[in-house]
Structure 1
Amino acid sequence: MKFYVSCDMEGIAGVTLREQLVRGEPLYEEARRLLTLETNAVTDALLDAGATRIIVKDAHGNGFNFIPELLHPGADYVMGATRVENRFPGLDKTFDGALLIGYHAMGGTPLAVRDHTMTSQGWQSLRLNGRPIGEIGLDGLLFGLQGVPVLFVSGDDKTCAEAANELPGVVAYETKTALGRHAALMKAPQRARSELQAAVRRAIENGNRPKPLRLDGPYELTIRFLHTEQADARRYDGITAERTDGLTAVYKSDHLTGLLAAAF
């Protein structure tokens, strides 16, 4: 069996502050270690469940957050920045499933730890074909283009609720109960890693696996920016890209990857 694992950082057990998420901040190194160890726990669980090939993507920020020396030798790793049209290098139709580890809720979600969509500095929110969407839904669709279902999601309770809404039948695991953007009722990381492994095994052994996420085109993506200058910096042709007010841009395409490449 082959599995693709995408790892973000905000939903990792023990992480709740901005200072843990940004390179150069005093708490970043500790959070890197928590991320790496939680990722290793997932790899262990997949191998125990019979995985023969695992690719793990560092999907946080610049894509270089794992501590390489501590990474589990049983997987291969995508590290460094990749463009959205190639967000998951090495992915193809032969993979049995995907897992989203340490994810966060979409921008604008109340009382969620570090809620945002793709960037916490540039955008308030995204809508795809009129419906709010976050990174769980977007990544689910990108995996779905290859016919690969998302089997498992972990993060805070708001993340897990979003996953259940976006991905019917997915197995979700709560690493923390969010109390606000920078507050949570935390599980100890060692406990979370143990429980996470059991949850991953349940997801792999689930006889009623989710189907790949699909959405037929044409597509319309609406970006709500934080500041007008961010909208000012974009180019608009009035057909495939249009500014509808001071803070809002709308992109249109018949192809999902082309749409995301133009918008992001």
Structure 2
Amino acid sequence: MKIYISADMEGVTGLVDAEDVQPPGRDYERGRVLMTEDVNAAVCGAYAAGATAVMVNDAHGPMRNLLPDLLDPRATLIKGRPKPMGMMEGLTPEYDAVLCVGFHARAGVLGVLSHSFMGHEIEDIWLDDEATGEIGLFHAASTAYGVPVALLTGDDTACAEMKAWDPTVATVAVKYAKDRFAAQLVPVAQAQSTIETTATESLRALPGLTADAPATRTLAVRWQSASVASHLTAIPGVTRRDDRTVTVEGEMLHLYRLFNLYLRVATAITSNAPYC
């Protein structure tokens, strides 16, 4: 059994603020340790369930957050950027399941460090007219590969967002949102123990894939900057719904790859820091 882990940081045990998850934040280095420990808990759970190989993709920000010397040596790590498929780089149909560690809720939702990919630069995302964020897009693309998402860890808001997309996915709430930068924390040892045991349980009872999605899907993104939307229309097939919203149709994996190109274009055009 081959398992793929996508590791974000905002939903990691104990982290609540940009200082915890962004270099050179005063608590970022401690955040890296906690992120690595959450991933290690998932790796241990995967092997307890019978995994024969585990691939981990560092999916947060600079994508150089996980500490290789502290990472469970049974896991292989993908580190750095840019990556054509971003948060799901390295995932292929040969994997049996995905574990999403440290994920967060979408922009506009009152969750810990909630946003969609680019802080305040992306205001809204819709997939087939359904509001989504990183969780929904990742789930849709993983499903398009034919690989089920078995587990998601994060705050309670992120867990609820995942359940709304697919109630068969097991979730672990490692903190409970009080506001965007405040949470009631689950004790670290308890949270990581629960990640490990839930990973094992979810992989021993892998969910079946949800109903087949349509072959062609529609992705719409509303940007804070009309300039970003204007530049993106240079990409064939991308049109503007209004000054700040672009739409495109296509197969889901193509849309996910294209969206990662959107992010690189937007980064080149803007200098807005996230979480403002």
1:84–1:142 Cα change, 3 Å? farther
Matching residue within 227, 233, 236 for 1:235: 233
- Partner of residue 155, structure 1: 154
In structure 2, C-alpha distance between the alignment counterparts of 1:262 and 1:89, rounded to whole Å = 13
What is the CA-CA distance between 1:235 and the residue it aligns to? 2.9
Gaps of 5+ in 2: 263-276
Pair 1:28-2:59 in alignment: no
Amino acid corresponding to residue 244 of structure 1 in structure 2: R
- Partner of residue 137, structure 2: 138
1:69–1:142 Cα change, 3 Å? same
CA offset digits 1:88-121 (Å, max 9, x no partner):
3443323221110110011111x21111122214
In structure 1, C-alpha distance between the alignment counterparts of 2:189 and 2:101, rounded to whole Å = 16
Q: Secondary structure at the match of 2:62?
A: coil
Pair 1:100-2:118 in alignment: no
CA offset digits 1:209-245 (Å, max 9, x no partner):
24167421322211111233333443347x7212222
Amino acid corresponding to residue 163 of structure 1 in structure 2: M
Give the TM-score taking structure 1 as reference length. Answer: 0.91
Q: Secondary structure at the match of 1:191?
A: helix
- Partner of residue 220, structure 2: 222
Contact 2:154–2:173, Cα closer than 8 Å, also in 1: yes
CA offset digits 1:183-230 (Å, max 9, x no partner):
111112122111211211221222x62416742132221111123333
In structure 2, C-alpha distance between the alignment counterparts of 1:146 and 1:82, rounded to whole Å = 21
Contact 2:123–2:224, Cα closer than 8 Å, also in 1: yes
Q: Secondary structure at the match of 1:37?
A: helix
Q: 5 Å matches for 1:1-264?
A: 1-85=1-85, 87-109=87-109, 111-206=110-205, 209-211=207-209, 214-236=212-234, 240-253=237-250, 255-263=251-259, 264=262
Give the TM-score taking structure 2 as reference length. Answer: 0.87
State the aligned residue count: 260
RMSD, aligned CA: 1.9
In structure 1, C-alpha distance between the alignment counterparts of 2:150 and 2:62, rounded to whole Å = 25
In structure 2, C-alpha distance between the alignment counterparts of 1:166 and 1:84, rounded to whole Å = 24
- Partner of residue 274, structure 2: none
